Amino acid sequence: MTKNYSIKISNGITEIRFTKVAKLSCICDAMDEVIEKYLTNFRLWDISNGIDLNSSEAQKVGEYAKSKFLTPGWSAIIAPTDLSYGTARMEDVYREDNLVTQKVFRSEQEALDWLNSQPGDTENTET
């Protein structure tokens, strides 16, 4: 199976960028890889190429994320189109917990500005 995403750490932020429309299995695979190899306190999820989740799948993504990310952190989602933004906001509702603060943004710059304004130091985050 070909990965439809890339992951790297840049300036203390784990960047997950989907190269094609993000689907349930691919999103969950990316989460698993982040947990295993790229866990930082700051994450940037780029779904600029679209997302294909129905409401049930959005709920599954949110619940899966809650079961995987068990340390405090901040997660920003880049979703420039109306459909991707709405879907990401729907997932955001199911993702809500006391450990990870997550927000959805229309642009990468807004998302990065928000991540960089959070407590902690993205420059010196352990990888």
Task: Give the max Cα distance, the chain.
Answer: 38
Could you tell me which residues come within 8 angstroms of residue 59 by beta carbon, excluding any fewer than 6 positions away?
91, 94
User: How confident is residue 120, by pLDDT bands cut at 50, 70 and 90?
Assistant: confident
Q: Which pLDDT score is estimated for 77?
A: 98
Strands 73-78 and 100-105: parallel
- 85-109: average pLDDT: 94
Helix (H) or strand (E) holding 64: helix 55-68
The ranges assigned to domains in the chain are: 5-114
Q: What's 5-114's CATH class?
A: alpha beta
The sign of the torsion formed by the CA atoms of 97, 100, 101, 103 equals: negative
Q: Are the C-beta atoms of 101 and 119 separated by less than 8 Å?
A: no
Each residue of 19-63: pLDDT tens digit? 999 999 999 999 999 999 999 999 999 999 999 999 999 999 999
Range of weakest confidence among 43-52, 74-83, 86-95, 118-127: 118-127
Q: What is the distance between the alpha carbons of residues 107 and 127, in angstroms, rounded to a whole number?
A: 25
Q: What is the distance between the alpha carbons of residues 91 and 71, in angstroms, rounded to a whole number?
A: 19
User: Residue 8 pLDDT > 50, yes or no?
Assistant: yes
Q: What percent of the chain has pLDDT over 70?
A: 94
Q: Which pLDDT score is estimated for 125?
A: 42
